[in-house]
Structure 1
């Protein structure tokens, strides 16, 4: 079901190697917003992390994009507030995003629904019949470091019986993305299914989120500076403590991660999140470990950190594929995150 990451890394290397020599300052990329982590090479921009977004404001009658993909990914498209979906085809193809009879101002966002191991997408070209306008900046920003819950694994699944599918995965419906839209905020999701902080769901201790969250693209080992975010959500531990696992060194590794995040963002509000997929003793031990981490950070003088325990809504079916939160479950988590941010930071909702 899952093709090896090495395959996609080789494909990305070939795509980037084929890029013509160009300077970014002479590119249309200077006039659009790339939200998230992108590998820019001349006039081409490759991306893998779920939720990576392309924002274009223009005054005109049509907009077309050229994208190269593995054929496994899809994107949500917002055009002047109307939301739709496009499934990307294998290879390089043109996609007609806007077409109107009369010219006028338009606001467009394309958001990657799917996660990194489904392969890189490369933005090749943007063509408008009109003029690209200066990009609009968001007033707030959220950063998420997480696992399959944060990627939107199975969020569109009809029940718990389905397994992973790019068709039912949708980062756009995750708690962080929903909360971000309520605050008109950017959201950057550094999330990867099956990953833990110390050990992954399969028990392996290599290539954990501690190893890859800093990467520009998960398939490449090169790191890049993290964005300066107002809110950081670390949503890890569900895979570390799944099925009775009790990883050694979890608290220490978590403290190291938080220290690095705090150094990068001295004023950010940080949330150490857990739930809702763990239960019983697994949840109790994971929550105890995370609370220990938060208490130690408080003792060190870091007051802008708190624990969030996400739960399921009462009386509403809230689980999708492989017991991951479905749309209702993610929406309930978004309510919890939104309320916490409003209490701690006083942000006003825009919708």
Structure 2
């Protein structure tokens, strides 16, 4: 019996040759289960930065993490005793480091549908949304996928707290006009720039679209007026394209968690696109950092609380 039809898939995902492919952070599948063991047939494609990593949640509590091997392999989940449980399996690393496909699932017990939340939030961002570096301190010199976990970043924390489905389109080092570039470079890096690679075929209708972009663009704009104006133009174009795609969503632009040089530009974009704006407190050495001087888990938790209060207050005021 094909048990794939009994799973609830968490977006974004694509069906490819009877398999289900997942690429973005927090995408995966969930189901209700009664039994003692689960066998997963999964294929994975990853980069030299390390494996694609899945997190297995039981009743929303982390049960284990799975480092996927390159190619198609079998993975086993076992439980001490058979009891009804809610199982969620999601990718916690981001697309640019690899993706996976679920080819088959078998079990000694029973699988049944587990409904996903009725409302969703679409998150669009960079490393701050992907949970880049949150699993390491400041000492490592080279990135490894084991340093990343989107479930500790503020987008996932907020969605979980508000019982909404997180749809996280996050790509570390990315932006609107340029990816991050070193000070020695003058030309923008537009390879796989986010407005171009955004999956516009998403079928969900989110109640909120929350965007945090500009941190990497600032490495190129550098306070130069012409560059900042171009950043604003491209950001406005991107948001208006998203507003056509998601006409019923409330749009919120966030900024400031890691740096503030484009703060006024993002505020102008929010005003021009009739979007809401929220300024995050910028993380400092006093708050502590994780890998590559990124805000740590405490800063993400603080940002999540700020966002939760904002969303709840706004929803109450708009009733």
- TM-score scaled by length of structure 2: 0.87
Q: Specify the alignment match of 1:57 in structure 2.
A: 32
Within the candidate set 297, 303, 312, 2:273 is matched to 297
Alpha-carbon distance in structure 1 between the residues aligned to 2:60 and 2:171: 28
Alignment match of 1:344 (pick from 283, 303, 314): 314
State the 1:315 CA deviation.
8.3
The 3 A distance-change label for structure 1 pair 194 and 226 is farther
Within 5 Å, which residues of 2 pair with 1:157-172?
157-159=136-138, 162-172=141-151
Report the equivalent of 1:107: 86
Q: Does 1:35 align with 2:5?
A: no
- Count of equivalent residues: 302
Matches within 5 A, 1:1-351: 27-70=2-45, 72-83=51-62, 84-102=64-82, 104-159=83-138, 162-202=141-181, 203-214=188-199, 224-242=201-219, 244=222, 246=224, 247=227, 248-278=229-259, 283-284=260-261, 286-298=262-274, 305-312=275-282, 317-346=287-316
Greater Cα offset, 224-233 or 175-184:
224-233
**TM-score, normalization: structure 1?**
0.79
Question: CA deviation digits over 1:64-114, x for unaligned, max 9?
Answer: 211112361111110134313221222222222243433x31111112111
Secondary structure at 1:167's aligned position in 2? helix
Equivalent residues of 1:79, 1:98 under 8 A apart: no
Separation (CA, whole Å) in 2 of partners of 1:160 and 1:142: 34
Displacement of 1:256 in angstroms is 1.6
- CA positional deviation for 1:260: 1.9
Task: Report the CA distance shift for 1:113/1:182 in structure 2 as closer, same or farther (over 3 A).
Answer: same
- Name the SS of the counterpart of 1:249 in structure 2: helix
Aligned-pair CA distance for 1:163? 4.1
Please report how far the alpha carbon of residue 162 of structure 1 lies from its aligned counterpart in structure 2 after TM superposition.
4.2
- What do residues 312-346 of structure 1 show as CA deviations (whole Å, max 9, x unaligned)? 46885332111112211211111111111111124
Task: Answer yes or no: is the 8 Å Cα contact 2:22–2:101 preserved in 1.
Answer: yes
Other structure's SS at 1:159 match: coil
State the alpha-carbon separation in 1 of the partners of residues 6 and 79 from structure 2.
20
Which deviates further from its counterpart, 28-37 or 139-148?
28-37
Deviations 1:220-258 (A, max 9, x none): xxx524521111111111111126264352112221222
Residue aligned with 1:342, SS:
helix
Shift of 1:38: 1.6
- Long gaps (5+) in structure 2: 182-187
Distance 1:338 1:240 in 2: 26
Separation in 2, partners of 1:212, 1:309: 26
User: Residues 313, 275 of structure 1: CA spacing in aligned structure 2 closer, same or farther, 3 A cutoff?
Assistant: closer
Q: Do the aligned partners of residues 163 and 320 (structure 1) sit closer, same or farther apart at CA in structure 2, a change above 3 Å counting?
A: farther
Distance 2:232 2:159 in 1: 28
Please give the alpha-carbon distance, in whole angstroms, between the structure 2 residues aligned to 1:262 and 1:210: 13
1:14 maps to what in 2?
none
Shift in Å at residue 185 of structure 1? Answer: 1.4
**What is the distance in 1 between the residues matched to 2:18 and 2:3?**
7
Q: Give the 3 Å change call, closer, same or farther, for CA 322–333 of structure 1 in structure 2.
A: same
What is the CA distance between 1:134 and its match in structure 2? 1.9
Q: Is the contact made by 1:76 and 1:172 (CA closer than 8 Å) also made in structure 2?
A: no
Counterpart secondary structure, 2:147: coil
Contact (CA 8 Å) 1:163, 1:321: kept in 2 or not?
no
Change (3 A) 1:48 1:137: closer
The alpha carbon displacement at 1:168 in A equals 0.7
3-state DSSP of counterpart to 2:136: coil
